[in-house]
Structure 1
Amino acid sequence: MTALDPIEEYVAALAAALHGPARVKARMLTEARDALTDAAVDIADGGSPDGRAVRQAVDDFGSVEDVAPAFQRELTIAQARHTARRVALIVPFLALTWYVLVIVDHGRGLPYPVEVLTAHVGGVAAAAALLAAASLAATGALARRLPTPRRLPLMVAWTGTAACAAVAISAVTLTTASALAGNGLVSVGVGVLTIASHVRIAASARSCRQCARLPVVAHG
C-alpha cells in the first residue's frame, strides 16, 4: 500500500463509469490523476503527500458520481465526432465504388431493379454522409460559438445505423447481382470492402448510442 493508492482507486472507479473513445478517455484520466496528485502535494505544503493529504485531495475533487457526468459529456461529443467522421469519409467512397460497379456491370446484364435499388440506397447513404458532415461542423468550429444540441450525439448514432443498413443492403444486392452478371472478382472485392466498412461504422455507432444514453452535465 502507498499513500497515493486512494488516487489510483478513484481514477479506476472513474474509468469504469466513463465510456467513449479510448484515446480521449485515457487523456482525461491522466489529467484527473495529475490534478489529484498536484492537489495532494499542495495540501502537504509541497512535500511528499501522506495518506491524509491524498484523502483530502480526493474528497475535495468530488465523488465519482458527481464528477463523471462532466467528463462523460466531453467523451460523448468525442464519440459522436468519431462516428460522424467515419460516416462522412467512408460512405461517399463506398457510394462511388457502387456507382462504378453498376456502370461496369450495366452492359453485362445487371437487372434494372438492382440499379434502381442501388440508386435509392445510395441516396440514403448520401443523406447520412451529409448529416454526418453537418454534425462534425456542429461539434467542431461551431461549438465554440453555439452550444452543442443535447440530442446531437444520439442523432449521429442513428445516422450511423442508417448508413450501416444502406451499406449492408448494397453489399448483398450488388455483389450477388454482379457475380451473376459474370464479374465475380470485382464483386468479391467490393463486397469485402463494403462489409469491412459496415463493421467499422456499426461498432462506432453502437458506442455512440451507449454514450448518448449516459448522464452528462449540460453545457454552459
Structure 2
Amino acid sequence: MSAISGQADPIEDYLAALTAALHGPARIKARMIEELGGGLADTVAAYTGEGMAYQHAAHRAVAEFGTLDELVPSCQRELTIAQARHTARAVALTAPFLAACWYLAWSTDHDQPWRLPHLAQLLAVHLAGVAGVAAVLAAATLAVTGTLARRLPTPHQLPRAVAWTGTTASVAMAVATLALVTASVLATNWPLLAFAGALAAASHAVMAAPARACRHCAARLPAM
C-alpha cells in the first residue's frame, strides 16, 4: 500500500485507530490487526487494478469494512475471550502450588504455645481453599471457551466472571502470603511455613497481572 505524498493514508489511519481502540493479549491483537490490514490491502489492490486511484480505492475499502463503532465490539469480544482464557489458564496452573500451601501449612506442629501462628495457618488454609475453587472455575472456563465453544455459545458475562474470579484468587493468595510469613516468624517449624509463603507469593504473582488485564478488557464489553 502506498499513499500519495503529502496525503494521509486512509488504511494506516483506520488501522491505527482500531489498534488504539482494542485491548487484549498483544500477540493476538497484533495478528488480528495484521489480518484486517491484509484484507484491506487486497481490496485496495483489486480496485487499483481496475484503474481506480489509490486514495479513492483506500477510502472505499475502509467504507466497506465498516466504521470503528461497527467493528470494535466484535473484535473486542474476541480479544476479551482470549484474555479470559489466558487468565483462566494462569489460575488453573497455580492449583498445584495452592495445594502445596495447604499441605505445608497443616504439616507444621500444632502444639506450639503461640496462638498467632495457628490462627495464621487457619487463615492461609481457608484462603487457599478460595483460590482452589477459583482454579476449578478456571478449568471449566477453559473447557467452555475451548472445544465446547464450537457447539455452545460463550456466555456473555463469562469474561467478567473470570476476571473477578482471578482477582479473588490473587487477593486470597496475597493475604495467605502475609499470614504464612507472619506464622513463620513465630512458629518452631518456620522453614515449612516460609516456603509455603513463597509458594503463595508466586501464585499471587502469576495471577495478578492476567486478572487485572481481564478486568480491563471485560470493562470494555458492551452491556447486554
Instruction: Give the TM-score, by structure 1 length.
Output: 0.87
The structural deviation recorded for 1:76 is 0.7
Matched, 1:102 2:96: no
Matched, 1:130 2:136: yes
Query: Which residue is equivalent to 2:153?
Result: 147
Aligned length, in residue pairs: 217
Matched, 1:20 2:24: yes
Matched, 1:85 2:98: no
Residues 149-175 of structure 1, C-alpha deviations (whole Å, 9 max, x = no match)? 000000001100110121011100012
**Superposition pairs for residues 1-220 of structure 1, below 5 Å?**
2-3=2-3, 5-45=9-49, 50-90=54-94, 92-106=95-109, 109=112, 111-183=117-189, 187-215=193-221
AA of the residue aligned to 1:98:
C
In the alignment, the residues of structure 1 paired with residue 98 and residue 39 of structure 2 have an alpha-carbon distance, to the nearest angstrom, of 47
Unaligned ranges ≥5, structure 1: none
> Is the partner of 1:66 in helix, strand or coil?
helix
AA of the residue aligned to 2:141:
S
The range that moved more, 22-31 or 53-62, is 53-62
CA root-mean-square deviation? 2.6
The range that moved more, 117-126 or 182-191, is 182-191
- For the 8 Å contact 2:28–2:79, the answer to whether it is kept is yes
Instruction: Give the TM-score, by structure 2 length.
Output: 0.86
In the alignment, the residues of structure 1 paired with residue 223 and residue 47 of structure 2 have an alpha-carbon distance, to the nearest angstrom, of 28
- For the 8 Å contact 1:41–1:49, the answer to whether it is kept is no
